[in-house]
Structure 1
Amino acid sequence: MPDLTTLRDDTPGTHQVMHFNNAGAALQPSAVLNAVTAHLHNEALWGGYEAAALASAPLDAVYRSIARLLNAHPQEIAVVENATRAWDMAFYALPLQPGEVILTSSNEYVGNYIPYLQLQRQRGIEIQVLADDHNGQVSLSALAERLAQPGVALVSLPLLATDGGPLQPVREIGALCRAAGVTFLLDACQGVGQLPLDVREIGCHILTATSRKYLRGPRGMGFLYIEKGLCEQLEPPFLDLHAATLVGPAQFDIRSDARRFEAWECNVAAKLGLGAAVDYALEVDVERIWERIQQLAGYLRRELSGIAGVQGEDAGVCTSGIVTFTLDACSPLRVKQVLAQASKPINVSVTRGRTGPERVRASVHAYNTEAEIDALVAAVRGITAV
């Protein structure tokens, strides 16, 4: 991994703010900024279609880069407008039938839970929330017991909740799903770019992720991995002339690869920016990024634990770079506002899970420094002293 000075020099925003909102949208490296702006410049000079044609080779390379990041095949990757669209396109394509069961976790993202409820109303599916073990992770014994019973069609959960908490034991979950012949859909929005992800090791059939969070790409871009054998069985909820070909007056053929889940029109500049973000993460080395994030998050948790009136809210065998906490005497929103007013602004966010209370979320990345954490901790200490 490049040294910290290089990482920060590659990240112009570090000179403007102390950014602890990487779980929302991380600071982009210059490589991403350059890729996006260069293409927008070409669109302005040559036209949108013409600029895209000139970028055909780099656009194809985006799929190879994402596949390398996940240990997948390029034909198993679709690039779409955002992670929500990626998740929706896969989920709504699944042929879930009345009475079939979706198993999810207690920390499922609200944006995913709403589609469960919609299909419960439309198709009569059932939703069952798996119990947590004593560490706050999905109970593997509860999952195994339920999979041994009939009716389960899908296991769908986030690798890591938007409000932090433990990393789920996804390899063990994947193995149980494979053994039971049940599809496993993994929402990896908070994981991609933060820690190494290998879809072959995990055993998931579908994985969705975003560009803007730990991967450090542009907003409005996400991607979908779908295992080749499953992809060929699923018809996307809607099609266009990119996803399918008209072969007769009343006949069309759907393309065989994961790009059947894409649309013809897309933000080409953002797509190239996503590719640049993936290439940058691979160059830096995601394994080393993960080591650095764990070090910084551990340091932040220890420092916050020494402040009276501050409660750490994270649990689990393995925690991530998302650090959540509350203050006895100040609301999370007020904490965010006060930190943003520092002489060098400190960016945090307010988060809330599907069932829990609001929390302050301070999410670290490899380009953050111990000195920035010290400044954040001192500012929180100052809030508690008022």
Structure 2
Amino acid sequence: MSIDLARARADTPATARLLHFNNAGAGLMPAPVLETVIKHLHLEAEIGGYEAAATAAERHQRVYDSIATFLNCHRDEVALVENATVAWQLAFHSLQLQAGDRILTGEAEYASNYISFLQVAHARGVEVAVVPSDEEGVFSVTALERMIAPSVKLIAVTHVPTNGGLVNPAAAIGKVARAHKIPYLLDACQSIGQLAIDVDAIGCDMLSATGRKYLRGPRGTGFLYVRRALLQQLEPPFIDLQGATWVAPDRYELRPDARRFENWESYIAGQLGLGAAVDYALGWGLHAIAARLVSLADMLRTRLGAIPGVTLRDLGRQRCGIVSFTMAGHESREIVAALRRQQINISASGPSSTLLDALARKLPELLRASVHYYNSEAEVDRFAQAIEKIARGR
């Protein structure tokens, strides 16, 4: 299956006036997703929030089925939450790590995740060990195997780092985790929606994801996957009447499914939009999306790499739709602002977002251009021309 570019752009009206290469920040919502959210918000205004939720209850339940299809898992392994950070934190802090337990993670781990590692390290005496990258900047599975020990209680890895096009070998990491029966938490915030994700093939026990990036869903939405085999061992760090039932004055019972991680109050319109975004992506085909993204990103790297003063910063053997680079003599934030005045959207990624990687590579703030399947080859040309003009001081 290939991407019908004309239809993809027709479903994304903003492409007529905007060059959007900030999909790793937030993708442009396609019309069916936007219409789903707005329709439910109108319904809430017309009949009331509780009543609108009751009216949409069946469609809301189908969101779990859509995500289960998307991930190749069971619907009872899916929880709907506010964002990827909430999903990740809920999973991580449910593990109840103790003094002497060890976490293995990678050099390109995201700041929010690593801060949580440090939090439990300082509070409980948990140890954090960083698995080195190989010569191409990829999380080294060979090194991971050497670091396995009885004290290792979690392997936590970011699939696609926020600061570049690297794709870490999630499935190879999963084989090691399964072989040693170590829980494996995968941060799929940047990979969900741009790569085909099969949690059974990857072998992760927990996966966190957002709706707003490559899935092209609404902001304020995300989901958590927790494998059935691990689920019954986990109690969320906080629970309410959605995740548990108060069955006696001194006792509660957790839900048997992943929805023990949910709150009762939720963004129903956004979650319906999230389901619409998942269905929309499934309609295109995840492998077709991934192929289109890789093709456009490779084209963009080639064009940028030919511009004097531009240095590409992406690592890895497998790369995705995120292209990171720097420009000699130019501040990243100034370039972002200059491009925005031309109706071109990109973002900047500071060293603190992936501090270990930034220190190891002596990285400054990076420019991050992230393409999607609705972007065109003509937009790649236009973007490269805009960067070349800035590089030449014109």
Shift of 1:337: 1.0
Listed one character per residue, the Cα deviations across residues 115-160 of structure 1 (whole Å, up to 9, x for unaligned) are 111101111100111110011111111100111x331100001001
Shift of 1:354: 2.2
Tell me what 2:127 maps to.
126
Q: Does 1:42 align with 2:49?
A: no
Tell me what 2:102 maps to.
101
CA–CA separation in structure 2 for the residues paired with 1:90 and 1:150: 21
Q: Does 1:312 align with 2:312?
A: yes
CA–CA separation in structure 2 for the residues paired with 1:54 and 1:142: 53
CA–CA separation in structure 1 for the residues paired with 2:120 and 2:173: 24
Q: Does 1:360 align with 2:359?
A: no
Shift of 1:2: 4.7
User: Which of 355, 372, 380 is equivalent to 2:379?
Assistant: 372
TM-score (norm 1): 0.98
Verify the 8 A CA contact 1:218 1:273 in the aligned structure 2: yes
Listed one character per residue, the Cα deviations across residues 268-323 of structure 1 (whole Å, up to 9, x for unaligned) are 00000000000000001111000000000000000001101000001210011000
The residue identity in structure 1 corresponding to 2:44 is: E
The residue identity in structure 2 corresponding to 1:248 is: A
Listed one character per residue, the Cα deviations across residues 55-76 of structure 1 (whole Å, up to 9, x for unaligned) are 0011000000001000010000
Tell me what 1:53 maps to.
54
Q: Does 1:261 align with 2:261?
A: yes
The residue identity in structure 2 corresponding to 1:4 is: L
Unaligned runs of at least 5 residues, structure 1: none
Listed one character per residue, the Cα deviations across residues 22-79 of structure 1 (whole Å, up to 9, x for unaligned) are 0000000001100000000000000000000000011000000001000010000000
CA–CA separation in structure 2 for the residues paired with 1:89 and 1:170: 21
SS at match of 1:157: strand
Listed one character per residue, the Cα deviations across residues 226-246 of structure 1 (whole Å, up to 9, x for unaligned) are 001211111111111111111
CA–CA separation in structure 1 for the residues paired with 2:306 and 2:3: 32
Cα RMSD (Å) of the superposition?
0.8
The residue identity in structure 2 corresponding to 1:381 is: E
Verify the 8 A CA contact 1:158 1:187 in the aligned structure 2: yes
The residue identity in structure 2 corresponding to 1:124 is: G
SS at match of 1:207: strand
Q: Does 1:248 align with 2:248?
A: yes
CA–CA separation in structure 1 for the residues paired with 2:211 and 2:123: 31
Structure 1 runs, 4 residues or longer, greater than 2 Å off:
352-355
TM-score (norm 2): 0.96
The residue identity in structure 2 corresponding to 1:201 is: A
Shift of 1:184: 0.5
Shift of 1:16: 2.6
Tell me what 2:361 maps to.
none
Verify the 8 A CA contact 2:103 2:156 in the aligned structure 1: yes
Verify the 8 A CA contact 1:136 1:165 in the aligned structure 2: no
Q: Does 1:136 align with 2:137?
A: yes
Q: Does 1:82 align with 2:86?
A: no
Tell me what 1:381 maps to.
388
Match runs of 1:151-190 below 5 Å: 151-190=151-190
Verify the 8 A CA contact 2:3 2:288 in the aligned structure 1: no
Listed one character per residue, the Cα deviations across residues 345-373 of structure 1 (whole Å, up to 9, x for unaligned) are 00000012422221100000000001111
Q: Does 1:351 align with 2:349?
A: yes
SS at match of 1:354: helix
CA–CA separation in structure 1 for the residues paired with 2:240 and 2:297: 44
Verify the 8 A CA contact 1:79 1:259 in the aligned structure 2: yes
The residue identity in structure 1 corresponding to 2:138 is: Q
CA–CA separation in structure 1 for the residues paired with 2:329 and 2:383: 17
CA–CA separation in structure 1 for the residues paired with 2:235 and 2:310: 50
CA–CA separation in structure 2 for the residues paired with 1:91 and 1:47: 36
Unaligned runs of at least 5 residues, structure 2: 359-363
Q: What is the aligned length?
A: 383
Q: Does 1:197 align with 2:194?
A: no
Tell me what 1:72 maps to.
73
Listed one character per residue, the Cα deviations across residues 67-112 of structure 1 (whole Å, up to 9, x for unaligned) are 1000010000000011111111110000211011001100000011
SS at match of 2:354: coil
CA–CA separation in structure 2 for the residues paired with 1:310 and 1:98: 46
Shift of 1:341: 1.1
Verify the 8 A CA contact 2:3 2:292 in the aligned structure 1: no
Verify the 8 A CA contact 1:236 1:261 in the aligned structure 2: yes
SS at match of 2:45: helix
Verify the 8 A CA contact 1:65 1:278 in the aligned structure 2: yes
CA–CA separation in structure 1 for the residues paired with 2:21 and 2:204: 30
Shift of 1:204: 0.3
Verify the 8 A CA contact 2:163 2:354 in the aligned structure 1: no
Shift of 1:165: 3.8
Q: Does 1:285 align with 2:285?
A: yes
CA–CA separation in structure 2 for the residues paired with 1:328 and 1:284: 39
Verify the 8 A CA contact 2:29 2:217 in the aligned structure 1: yes
Name the % identity. Answer: 48
Tell me what 1:294 maps to.
294
CA–CA separation in structure 1 for the residues paired with 2:307 and 2:91: 45
